[in-house]
Amino acid sequence: MRKAPRQQRSRVTVDAIVEAATRVLARRGWARFTTNEIAAVAGVSVGSLYQYFPDKLAIAEAIRERHLHEVLAALSGPQEKEEDEGGEAVALDRRVERFVDGVIAAHSVDQALHRVLVDEVPLAARSSYPEFEAEYQRRYRALVASGTATGEGDDGTEDEAAARMLSSAVEGVVHAAARRGDLGSSVLRSELVRLVLAYLRDRRQAGRGRAGNPPAGVDSAPCP
């Protein structure tokens, strides 16, 4: 952003520009995203627009930042519900179901806009959202930790790597489904839950083995 809004009137103008630009970008796509149309939809002059944004990429970055906040808010819903249940431990199956519901909900926030931001809008040279990335990965690390067997002796490095691998797998599936318009599919949800559970349970079994514990369902007594 070229000039940060300081007065209420300026903030209203910037909000109007970003809101209008969001609608234009979702409808037109990046190739036909123009400052002239944004200004017309926002009800401001092109000169006023350029007081705050040097070019259309800067506007797109403001849209991206706002959208990322909406994504985190959608992802927070299922996790907050867990925390409201009297602090009781939630079974892994249910935790994964809620997590998957949150991821799908997060990617359902203005699907047309999400697709354009992911597939069409170039990243600005200084585009970086470390706070978003850190918080998003924290959600995956918490999920991985909830499915990890105790006593593995992991210093957190493996959980960190597992969280990144899991997020890449889940994001790939969800983004592909979004492009096909399949985010509302019950089959997508059930298969994604199956994928995540299988990965977490496999890690749990491997953790038990490293800790010297027998896999679940296996008698640890020596053979006579």
Q: Which domains does the chain have, with CATH numbers?
A: 1-54 (1.10.10.60), 63-210 (1.10.357)
Strand (E) positions, 22-152? none
Predicted confidence at residue 9, as pLDDT, reads 86
- Write down the residue that tokens 């809008």 correspond to: 121
What's phi and psi for 101, nearest 5 deg?
Answer: -60, -40
What's phi and psi for 222, nearest 5 deg?
Answer: -70, 150
CB atoms within 10 A of CB 146: 16
- CA dist., res. 57 & res. 33, Å (int): 10
Please check whether residue 151 is in contact with residue 213, taking contact to mean a CB–CB distance below 8 angstroms: yes
- CA dist., res. 197 & res. 97, Å (int): 9
pLDDT tens, N- to C-terminus, the chain (224 residues): 666 666 788 899 999 999 999 999 999 999 999 999 999 999 999 999 999 999 999 999 999 999 988 888 887 765 555 555 544 446 889 999 999 999 999 888 888 898 899 899 997 765 667 888 888 899 899 899 888 755 454 567 888 999 999 999 999 999 999 888 899 999 999 999 999 999 999 998 887 666 555 545 444 333 33
Predicted confidence at residue 88, as pLDDT, reads 44
- CA dist., res. 139 & res. 129, Å (int): 16
Please check whether residue 136 is in contact with residue 171, taking contact to mean a CB–CB distance below 8 angstroms: no
- CA dist., res. 9 & res. 154, Å (int): 53
- CA dist., res. 69 & res. 62, Å (int): 11
* 135: exposed, middle or buried (Cβ count in 10 Å: 0-12, 13-18, 19+): middle
82 Cβ partners below 8 Å, 6+ apart?
A: 90, 95, 98
Please check whether residue 147 is in contact with residue 200, taking contact to mean a CB–CB distance below 8 angstroms: yes
